[in-house]
Amino acid sequence: MVAYNKFYAFVQDIAQGVHNLSTNALTYALTPTANPPVATNSVLSNITQIANYTNMSSRVPTIASCTQTGLTITQSTTSSLPFQFVVLYNATPANGNLISWWDYGSAVTLQAGDTFAIQPDQTNGILQIQ
Amino acid sequence: MILKVAASDLPWLNFEWHPDDHRLYVLKSPPNGSGVAVATPFLEDVNTEHEAKQGINAFIAGYKEQASEPDVRTGIRRAQHHTIILDTGILGAHHGS
């Protein structure tokens, strides 16, 4: 299981009503080894994503895939660009406010037919607010 | 006492050495983490913890090598399936996440 890393701005964004985690469109971004996210990043433009997501299936999880089923990204043809970090952000606000990230531990390049499954804890989901 | 070892980058695989029957078992779970793990013995006459760890390392090395090689009959590269299992973030007055 890979450690959850919080962006500092997420708590403030929650307090200021930026996020509605029940209805907003959350999305996973992928970043390369050379550009790891840092906790002080706050919006999507602060992180360096891989240059394109060509031929990659949806990176938009549903409520169910954030809590139980997980999301599997499939590369249909050609190869993806290498990535290592998975970043969760909220695509509904114009800035794409960042929520959290996880480190896969090594770079992955998906070739045609390869898959990358993003599996939350099936009991507690991605995030618990207590 | 049964020795349990997890394969850190292959989260659907776990291993157990049972000193009583001197066997090494691989426990394979569905890649999404749900369902029941299936235990299969793959090495016998394992008498020490050191031998068990050597056997586990050999299994993992072979598993990875086989997974990355083309299919022996068709020569076509096999699809690779990666899984990242996310820890839960805890957000609250008494938590630092």
CB nearest A11 (choices: B11, B32, B91):
B91
Q: How confident is the model at residue B6 (pLDDT cuts 50, 70, 90)?
A: confident
Count of helices and strands (H, E) across chain A = 2, 7
Choose, out of A84, A121, A123, the residue to mutate when testing the contact with B (most B CBs < 10 Å).
Answer: A121
What value does the mean pLDDT take over residues A9-14? 94
Phi, psi of B36 (to 5 degrees): -100, 135
Nearest chain A residue to B92 by CA: give it: A130
Q: How confident is the model at residue A104 (pLDDT cuts 50, 70, 90)?
A: very high
Q: What is the pLDDT of residue B12?
A: 78
CB nearest B85 (choices: A1, A69, A108):
A1
Give the Cα separation of A85 and A9 in Å (integer): 18
pLDDT digits (tens, 9 = 90+) for B9-55: 777 788 999 999 999 999 988 765 667 788 899 999 999 988 998 89
> What are the residue boundaries of the structural domains of chain A, listed by start?
5-118
pLDDT digits (tens, 9 = 90+) for B70-96: 666 677 778 888 999 999 998 876 555
Single-letter amino acid, residue A111 = Q
Contact B88 A126 (CB under 8 A): yes
- Tokens for A75, please give them: 């590369």
CB nearest A3 (choices: B79, B82, B87):
B87
Question: How far apart are the CA of A125 and the nearest CA of chain B, in angstroms?
Answer: 6
Taking contacts as CB-CB distances below 8 angstroms, the residues of chain B near A85 are: none
A104 touches chain B (CB under 8 A): yes
CA B60 to chain centre: 7
Contact B89 A104 (CB under 8 A): no
Taking contacts as CB-CB distances below 8 angstroms, the residues of chain B near A113 are: 79
CB A101 within 8 A of CB A87: yes
Percent of chain A exceeding pLDDT 90 equals 75
Residue A40 has pLDDT above 70, yes or no: yes
The interface predicted TM-score of the complex, written ipTM, equals 0.91
Question: How far apart are the CA of B21 and the nearest CA of chain A, in angstroms?
Answer: 31
